Amino acid sequence: MWPQDPSRKEVLRFAVSCRILTLMLQALFNAIIPDHHAEAFSPPRLAPSGFVDQLVDGLLGGLSRWDAEHFLFIAEHGYLYEHNFAFFPGFPLALMVGTELLRPLRGLLSLRSCLLISVASLNFLFFMLAAVALHDLGCLVLHCPRQAFYAALLFCLSPANVFLAAGYSEALFALLTFSAMGQLERGRVWTSGLLFAIATGVRSNGLVSVGFLMHSQCQGFFSSLTMLNPLRQLFKLMASLFLSVFTLGLPFALFQYYAYTQFCLPGSARPIPEPLVQLAVDKGYRIAEGNEPPWCFWDVPLIYSYIQDVYWNVGFLKYYELRQVPNFLLAAPVTILVVWATWTYVTTHPWLCLTLGLQRSKNNKTLEKPDLGFLSPKVFVYLVHAAVLLLFGGLCMHVQLSLPGPQADPCHPHHRCHPLLLRHELPAADKLHRPWDPAPGYCL
């Protein structure tokens, strides 16, 4: 069992320490540093707040800034404004469950305070479990316990740590995706697909995870291909690929359909409190009771694409402006890290990369001694995923998001490149040698 594994216990202990420190620092800096007055989403509070509510807000209010306001608003009021649909329902549903557990305190706390407590406690739990899941995944993929251990520690020290603590969906998404990857590495495809599908309901990034399932299925096809009945095997492969795409795409499609019913079908609007209607008038937010938005008349009415384009100006090369040079510099370290990792891996395993990881080498004798650590053949699909995310993010997204926010994404380049930084053992690592660590030089 994992609690008896010393390295897991150490990762769990370190994750708890990092999370406690993060919560303490956010409370301190939230008290001493004035908030930046930006044109961010800030809905009015409808319920009166008492002394205990003010205390909770003073301790945890720093977790509710920026996009966290959207998640808290959705958990409290539902999807009322059009731009709320940029945020998927998985995390708000988790907050609602956490709030239900706090129902005995509702006489003392407002719903807003219960949501803040749910944010802090649930993301605390999700973060700890995600760190352990990443450690387990690293052991399965890298075949090097030391690198897996350090990768999990670096995950806890990531610059995105604050986003894993705040009212964002990154911590839950990390837990689900790390767990899904681990189940896939263990050969449990159905469990992995289910976890990937749930992750898609938390963040749209989960759609890209279908590549892991498809690559695994193609590997199984080529490894078991025989000349006895190749057409039957090909049919089974095509069916499994279709099922993977359908399973991961279903949460996304259902969410888009729900948005369509709210904004494009008559009579589907629900009552909205007057202060929130007034906020929509003042800020120009679209609600369901107005005219039908233009995306309702598209051949494929996707509200998500419309919101990213109109509200966040996300699109091909739209962020390439002179005034954005500082943000490109902010993203430079992660970009360099991924390019370096990709070049190192491709030059080391050219045949593996040419065959898309489906056949490791022309010489079967080399399969007897697989590489350890970052150069393990199993790393190929994760590195491709990181490179694709970097390319897409650099060309189509707000480029600075490649460092702070989506770094909590478990498929983000930063996490995939931890082992590269540890490919050569640091001298200090030998001083930290523990009984459960492999002997120094084991992963060299």
Whether pLDDT at 222 is above 90: no
Task: Please give the torsion angle defined by the CA atoms of residues 196, 201, 203 and 209, in that order, rounded to the nearest 10 degrees.
Answer: 20
Which of 87-91, 351-355, 412-416 is predicted with the least confidence, judged by mean pLDDT? 412-416
Considering the entire predicted model, what is its pTM?
A: 0.87
Whether pLDDT at 423 is above 60: no
Q: Between helices 303-310 and 230-263, what is the axis angle to 10°?
A: 60
Quick one: pLDDT at residue 290?
A: 72
The whole-number average pLDDT for the span 29-48 is 81
What are the domain boundaries of the chain? 6-32+51-311, 322-362+372-396
Q: Contact 57/115 with Cβ under 8 angstroms? A: no
Query: Can you give the three-state secondary structure of 44-88, one letter per residue?
Result: CCCCCCCHHHHHHHHHHHHHHCCHHHHHHHHHHHCCCEHHHHHCC
Residue appearing with tokens 């709030």 = 99
Mean residue pLDDT of the chain comes to 83
pLDDT in tens, 341-393: 999 999 999 999 998 888 744 554 444 556 778 888 899 999 999 888 888 88
Q: In whole angstroms, how far apart are CA 46 and each of 50, 73, 80, 273, 366?
A: 13, 11, 15, 9, 67
Q: Which of 409, 421, 22 is nearest to 181 (CA)?
A: 409
pLDDT class of 297 with cuts at 50, 70, 90: very high
Quick one: pLDDT at residue 439?
A: 33
Burial 359-381 (b: 16+ CB within 10 A, else e): bbeeeeeeeeeebbbbbbbebbb
- What lies within 8 Å, CB to CB, of 149 at 6+ separation is 7, 10, 11, 135, 138, 437
117 CB-contact burial (10 Å; exposed 0-12 / middle 13-18 / buried 19+): buried
Please tell me whether residue 277 adopts helix, strand or coil conformation: helix
Query: How far, in Å, CA of 433 to CA of 148, rounded?
Result: 14
